[in-house]
Amino acid sequence: MENSPLRGIFEFDQAKALLQAGVKVVLLSIDLRSIRRRRKLGKTHLTKDGIEIYNIALPLGMVPSWLFMLVGRLALRSIYSDIIKHHGKPDLVHAHFTDIAAVASWFKTKHHLPLIVTEHSSKINADQPGKKTISYGKIAYASADKIIAVSSHLANRLKQHFNVDGIVIHNIVETETFKYVPKPHGNFTFISVGNLIQSKGFDILLEAFSRLELADIRLIIVGEGSERLKILSKIDELKLNGKVSLSGRKTRSEINDLMACSDVFALASRRETFGVVYVEAMAAGLPVIATQCGGPEEFVNENNGILVPVDDVDELAKAMTYMHDNKSLFNSERIMQQCRQLFSPETIAEQLILVYKKVLNTHNITYAQNKGLSLDFRS
C-alpha cells in the first residue's frame, strides 16, 4: 500500500468508519498483481488507525480466470488461518470488487459465512463487460447475501448484465481531511484531480480550458499516470504553459490545501462508477463541473455544480466560463454541509450496519453492538 497509496482506500475508509461506529473490523488484502508491481511478497500484518490489516502478495498478474481463482483461494485459506488464530471466526464477510468477491465466495461455500459484496468496478459499467468480468461476477453475485453498488447507474448495470438487484450505498468522503477552509488567493483557479489516464478526460479539459477568453485564470491538475507525457504535450500544443500546472501525486491533506486555494473543481471523466473526487471537492466547499459519466448525476445539481455531456468540449468550455462569471451564486458552506449529510463516514457506516443486521438476521445470527463484527475486505 505504501507504493500505491490509493489502492484499497475505499475499503479502508469504510473500515475506519465502521470501527468508529463500534464494529470490530479485520481488513484482509489479497494482492495478486504481477511481479512488475514492486512490493513485499508473502504475508504481512500491520495495524493502521486501529485497523488490523492482513495482506498476502503473490506475483500472479494476468492469468486465466480459473488460475486466478485457484491461487486466490489458496492465498485466502492461508491468511484466514491467521485471522482465526488471532481474532476468532468472523460473523460475516464483506468483499469489494468483482474478482476478489468471486474469490471470497469461498467463505460462503466452505464456511457458510454470510457474504456481502460491494461493487465499484468500472468494468461493470461497460456496455459489454469482458469474459473474465462476467465469469467473476456470476460466481460472486450467486454467492452474495446482499449486493451493494456505489451508484444507481452501477446498480442498473448489474441488473442489465447479471440480472441481480443491488442496493445503493455510496462511497465515503473523508470529512476530517476534506473541509471548507477559505483562504485568500489570486487568479481564478480551476482544480482537477485524478489518475492521468484516458478515461479521466484531461485532453478534453485542456481543450475546453484553452477556449476560455479570460486573462485571470489558471488550472491545476493533480495526479500521476500513463498519460502524463501526452498531457504535457497537449499543454505545449495549446500554448498553456503559463496557465496550467501538473502538480503530480499529492496526499489527501495536500489536495485539500490546493482546493482551499481554488475556486472550482472540474473533471471531464469519460466514465465513473461513483466519482469520489467530485465529492471530496464538494466537501472542501467547491462547486464542481462534472460529466454525465455514470456517477456524478446522482449528486451534482444546480446548487453545487454543473453537469455536461461526456467528450463535449463546447459545453465544458461554456460551463467553465459560467462558473468564472457566477461563482458567487454557489454557497461553499452549504455545499460542504450537504455533502457531509450524504457521504460522511457516520452516514455510510449507519447504512452498512443496517445491511449487516438484516443479513445476520436471515442467518439467525444475533447482532451485538458490544461484540461487534469481524469483516474481511479487499485492500
- Count up the domains in the chain and report the number: 2
* Residue of 150, 95, 168, 154 whose CA lies nearest to 124: 154
Regarding pTM above 0.75, the answer is: yes
Whether residue 102 is contained in a domain is answered as: yes
CB 375 within 8 A of CB 23: yes
Q: Do you know the residue count of the chain?
A: 379
Task: Please give the grid coordinates belonging to residue 19.
Answer: 470501527
Domain match, 166 and 204 both = no
Residue 242 sits in a domain whose CATH number is 3.40.50.2000
Q: Are residues 153 and 40 in the same domain?
A: yes
Name the helix (H) or strand (E) containing 158: helix 152-162
Both 20 and 129 in a single domain? yes
Walk along the chain (379 residues) and give the pLDDT tens digit of each residue: 444 545 678 899 999 999 999 999 999 988 888 888 788 888 999 999 999 999 998 988 888 999 999 999 999 999 999 999 999 889 999 999 999 999 999 999 999 999 999 999 888 988 899 999 999 999 999 999 999 999 999 999 999 999 999 999 999 999 999 999 887 778 899 999 999 999 999 999 999 999 998 888 999 999 999 999 999 999 999 999 989 999 999 999 999 999 999 999 999 999 999 999 999 999 999 999 999 998 899 999 999 999 999 999 999 999 999 999 999 999 999 999 999 999 999 999 999 999 999 999 888 766 554 334 444 444 3
Please report, as a single letter, which amino acid is at residue 158.
L
- Residues ≥6 apart with Cβ < 8 Å to 364: none
Q: Please give the distance of CA 124 from its chain centroid, rounded to a whole number.
A: 14
Co-location of 243 and 351 in the same domain:
no
Q: In what order do the strands lie in the sheet with 26-31?
A: 26-31, 51-57, 42-48
Residue at 319 is within a domain: yes
In a domain, 180, yes or no: no
Residue 95 shares a structural domain with residue 22: yes
Domain holding 334, by residue range, is 188-340
Q: What is the CA radius of gyration of the chain?
A: 21
Same structural domain for residues 295 and 351? no
The reply to whether 116 and 157 lie within a common domain is yes
Query: How do strand 244-248 and strand 217-222 relate by DSSP bridges?
Result: parallel
